[in-house]
Amino acid sequence: MKRTGASKSFTGIERMQRAGSASLAAAVLAALAATPAIAQSQGERIGALEQRMGAVEQKLDSQALLEMSRQLAALSAEVRTLRGELEKLQHDLEVSRRQQRDQYVDLDTRLRASETALAAAQSATPAAGPDADYQAAFNLLKEGRYNEAAAAFSAFLAEHRDHELASNAQYWLGEVHYVKRDYPAALSAFEGVLIGFPGARKSPDALLKAGYCHYELGHFDIARTALARVTKDYPESTAAVEAAERLKRMTAEGR
């Protein structure tokens, strides 16, 4: 009786163990069966994430290229602007150099012409007096001692306003200021010839240089008027030829 009961109990436990093993096996089989599906789902999610990352990277690359393109365009524009400013500076420098050269050449030409006239006059005049004072001032101008020459011509005009060389002294005072590029003072001196000594031999040159001064001061309309007067009032003079040339230059410059 006792064995039979023990045997039945053992059989029941064995059955429970077999049932548990079957359930465990079924769970394992179910898990194994589900693994490919889970793996596939995870793979799809990873693939989707990779696509999104690729799209983000492509967008970032496009934005970076766009930003670089904008920066390059801005730099190119700045380079063009700087190049234009450099070319303008070079042009202005060349114009300034040409004007300075023209001023000295013009002054030298006029000095030589006056020297010839003075040489003839000196033989008939004494070595002292107003003529000597004028010659001393003129020599200072020839030597390029412009400040001293300006003072000497001014002194001559103060002492010998009625002398026959006073109009010349007034004109050369203007030339001194002009070659120093003091255009307001030069203009005042040249106008002094036209107003203070009407009909003087230096009137055509004084009117021409007054036009030049207005040009340098940016008074282009007044400059044109003065230069046109030279060609009209003194058509046979050298000053008229120079005035016509300057008018042509102003037209070419658009002034």
In tens, the pLDDT along 48-58 reads: 887 887 787 78
Q: Is residue 39 part of a domain?
A: yes
Residue 109 lies in a domain: no
Indicate if the pLDDT at residue 122 is higher than 60: no
- Whether 188 and 241 share a structural domain: yes
Residues 196-209, mean pLDDT to the nearest whole number: 96
Same domain? For 85 and 136 the reply is no
Measure the CA–CA gap between 123 and 125, rounded to whole angstroms: 6
pLDDT surpassing 90 at residue 244:
yes
Averaged pLDDT, 198-225: 97
* Higher-confidence position of 192 and 94: 192
What is the Cα 198 distance to its own chain's centre? 44
Average pLDDT over all residues of the chain: 81
The answer to whether the CB of 189 falls within 8 A of the CB of 173 is yes
CA distance 195 to 153: 18
Say yes or no: 144 and 247 in one domain: yes
At residue 133, the pLDDT reads: 95
- Output the pLDDT for position 2: 46
**3-state class (DSSP) for residue 127:** coil
**Rg of the chain over CA atoms, in angstroms?**
51
Tokens of 94: 């060349």
Task: Count CA atoms closer than 13 A to 100's CA, side-chain side.
Answer: 8
Does 88 share its domain with 129? no
For the cut 70, the answer to whether the pLDDT of residue 22 exceeds it is no
> 3-state DSSP call for residue 51?
helix
How many structural domains are present in the chain? 2
Report the alpha-carbon distance of residue 209 to residue 90 in Å, rounded. 26
**Three-class secondary structure of residue 236 per DSSP:** coil
Averaged pLDDT for residues 111-120: 61
Expressed in angstroms, the distance from the first to the final Cα of the chain is 140
Could you give the CA distance from residue 228 to residue 237 in angstroms, rounded to a whole number? Answer: 13
pTM assigned to the model = 0.56
The closest alpha carbon to 243, from 233, 222, 255, 228, belongs to: 228
Q: Is 246 part of a structural domain of the chain?
A: yes
pLDDT of residue 110: 72
- Asked, for residue 29, whether it belongs to a domain, the answer is yes
What is the per-residue pLDDT across 81-114, written as a single tens digit (0 to 9) for each? 777 777 767 756 766 666 666 666 677 677 766 6
Cα separations in angstroms, 35 against 25, 27, 30, 39, 193: 15, 12, 9, 6, 114
The pLDDT of residue 180: 95
**Which amino acid belongs to residue 116?**
T
Domain span including residue 42: 12-92
Residue 36 has pLDDT above 90, yes or no: no
Task: Let me know whether 78 and 147 are in one domain.
Answer: no
